[in-house]
Amino acid sequence: MCLAIPGKIVKIEGDQAEIDFGGAMKTANVAMVDAKVGMWAVVHAGFAIELMDEEEALETLKLWNEFVDSGTAEIRNPN
């Protein structure tokens, strides 16, 4: 299972974008979406697969943080 959180695009050069995930900067390929600086992107396996507006991105981050802070999120050992 893969969980993705939105990050804000801060720089684009060609098909590569620098994306800010709460202070963690990552590079992702944006060739599959119509990305622009300032947009929010969901990234999977190094590719931006979806764009969302800021309101939706911030709501997603809020819900994710509430889930993590609730203590119900736990990492299980698959073995």
Q: Which residues, 6 or more positions from 69, have their beta carbon under 8 angstroms from its beta carbon?
A: none
| Band of pLDDT at residue 4, cut at 50, 70 and 90 | confident
In this predicted model, what pLDDT tens digit does every residue of 32-65 receive, in sequence order? 999 999 999 999 999 999 999 999 999 999 988 8
For the whole model, what pTM was predicted? 0.81
Q: Which domains does the chain have, with CATH numbers?
A: 6-69 (2.30.30.140)
Q: Contact at 8 Å (CB) between 17 and 11?
A: yes
Q: State what percent of residues in the chain have pLDDT above 70.
A: 87
